[in-house]
Every structure is written in C-alpha cells, then in structure tokens.
Amino acid sequence: MAGGAAGEAAQAEVLRQLRSTFGPAVLETERGSTGLYALLGQVGLLERRCRNPVLVAGTASAGAKLALAQALGKHDTVGLDLVAECVNAVLARGALPLFLVAHLGIGEAESPTALPIVKGIAKGCRQADCALLGTSLEPRGGHLVGSAVGMVERARLLDGPAAARPGDLVLGITAGGLPPAAAQLVRHLLVDAGGLRLDDQPELACPLGEELLRPARIYVRAVRAVLERYRVKGVVHAVAPVADGGLVGSVAGALGRRCVARLERAALPRVPLLDLVRRVTGMADDEMARTFPMGVGMAVVVAPFYAKAAIRRIRRAGERAAVIGEVVAGSGPAVVLA
C-alpha cells in the first residue's frame, strides 16, 4: 500500500482485519494473499451428518460500487457489497460459506483508500460468518473482485430447476442497497442520461449518490436459520439471490420449466429510488421487474406449510421477509407479476 514503515503498519492492520474474521478452522499465516482452512472440524461434521461434501465456489465483482465509492469519497461499505455478491453465489446452492479471498485494484493515488475497503470486506465476512483468508492488492485499475468457497452435503445441494413445485410459496427477504450492476445502471439512467447529480436529493431520504452506494445486505444468517432448521425435511426448495436479471430473471432462474411463479406486486417492498427511476425514465412496470430487484434481496421458495415458520426464523436472524408470491403449474413465462 505504501513503502517503508507506513507500508508495514498498513500491512499489519490488514492482517488484523483478516484475523478478525478467523474461526478455529483457519490456520494463521503471516502471508496476506494466501490462506489456510483446515477441513478437520468440517470432516468431523461430515462423519455425523454430511457424508458427501461438495465445495461450492463462485466469483463476483463489486467494481461498479467501487467506482461510486471513489466518486463519493466513501469507501467503508463497498466491501459489504463484495461479500454479499460472493456469498450469494454460494447460498444459491444451499451451501454455507467457509471462506472468501479478495482482490483490490486501485491506482497508486487511491492507495489510502485500500484499508477502509479491506475493513469493509472483513466486516462483511464477520456478518457472513466466514473467514477472509486473504486479500491481494494491485496498484492499477479500479476493480474489486472476490471468490467465496462454501460447503454443502451433496444430498442437500439446491440444484435449481428441479426442486420448486406447484403450491410452494415464494418468500422475499427485503433488500438493502442495490447490487453493483443495478446501482451502476441507475446511476447511468438518472445521472448520465437523466441530468440528476449524485448530490441531488430528489424525493429520497438521502442524496442520490449515498442511496446508490448503500450496501446490499448479507443474508447468510437468515438463510442458514431456515436451511439448518429444516435439515431433514427439505422444506427449502430454492434460494434465489436477486441480481442481474432483476426480480423476474432471478426467480425464473431458480424455477423448473413446468412451474410459474406468480408474484404479487402489492407484496413487494416500496423502493423510493426505483419509483424515481420509473418517473424519470418512463420504464414500464414489467421491464422494471426484469431489470431491478424491486426491493427483494433474496427469494426463498418453500413448501407452503412451513412458510410462516420460515419467515419467523428469517426475522429472528434480523431480516424482514414476507410471502411475495406462489408457484403454480404451467409453462410460458416463468414469472408473472399480478
């Protein structure tokens, strides 16, 4: 990050941040960019209840949020977005994240912002109950990329299309800030094309830039509360983080071809920022729902009998959730907004 004593102090602080995320499975190391994770505890688990462990690995970027962070000079939350993006890929398969590694590329002039960014990643990993095993820094570019690795018993892998069935209910966990790609698109529509400025405050509770930068939420604990409770019963049929493709595309990706999800417009959280996008751009409701999360951060498809209990558990884990639709038999468009 910097040469000499300042560089060493920064490096020591990075290691402190990594350590703040370590559980007993992590073997401490003095190197920053490589980490060690002992599977023994996990294998112990396996012997009891996880006979065929599968590692789930996914990679994601929060570069679009980093660009916003740089424009606004506020760097402490973009790490939360990175962790959210990375662990979502793991949660979507019914796995829980074990650890994450991250790579940050920023120009030399921006190097003082590296530490707040790493602190944000470490905070996100603590929220996700996973270890930040390593970070690497490149003195060029403007990118923030991470990879998460999780583990799940093979028999409990959520395999997408196969699992949802007619009668299931779709729960929506209320979103935090927009995910990176959506935030970038809204910035483009409202600022580059719409003539607004990042420090305008048009019918929002805070300036536009601040609202765009607001981090996505990390749903590991909420999803785990549901997955672990119903370990045997297989009550959870799909977990769909809402990302590219908006609410409609994300839920559709988690459904089989013989199912349709009928989502209730009235059940979706109101999002003042998206109301603003609708007004400024004149975008139709259906296109909005194919493009943006519509206030839903994560959709969870469950057997109807357990919906209320699952919502209770999600709430106890600190998130808001509600039934936003149901799965019905049929073909055609996989998701209908009613």
Binding site for a copy of itself (CB under 8 A): 27, 30-31, 33-40, 43, 46, 52-61, 63-64, 89-90, 92-93, 98-99, 101-103, 105, 133-136, 138, 140-143, 145, 147, 149, 151, 154, 157, 160
Q: Output the smallest distance, CB 337 to a copy of itself, in A.
A: 23
Dihedrals phi, psi of 58, to nearest 5 degrees: -145, 155
Nearer to a copy of itself, 14 or 337 (CB): 14
Nearer to a copy of itself, 17 or 174 (CB): 17
Residue 116, class by beta-carbon neighbours within 10 Å (0-12 exposed, 13-18 middle, 19+ buried)? middle
d(CA 305, CA 317): 20
At 52, the amino acid letter reads: N
Q: Output the smallest distance, CB 7 to a copy of itself, in A.
A: 13
Nearer to a copy of itself, 163 or 303 (CB): 163
d(CA 280, CA 10): 44
- Strand ranges inside 92-141, DSSP E: 96-106, 131-138
Q: Output the smallest distance, CB 206 to a copy of itself, in A.
A: 26
Nearer to a copy of itself, 188 or 279 (CB): 188
Q: Output the smallest distance, CB 100 to a copy of itself, in A.
A: 9
Q: Output the smallest distance, CB 1 to a copy of itself, in A.
A: 14
Token pair belonging to 277: 């996008």
Which residues, other chains included, contact 300 with Cβ-Cβ below 8 Å and sequence gap of 6+? 170, 171, 173, 223, 226, 236, 238, 239, 240, 310, 314, 321
- Inter-CA distances, 325 with 35, 128, 162, 168, 274, Å: 42, 27, 19, 9, 20
Nearer to a copy of itself, 60 or 251 (CB): 60
Nearer to a copy of itself, 9 or 55 (CB): 55
Is 245 in contact with 96 (CB distance < 8 Å)? no
Q: Output the smallest distance, CB 179 to a copy of itself, in A.
A: 13
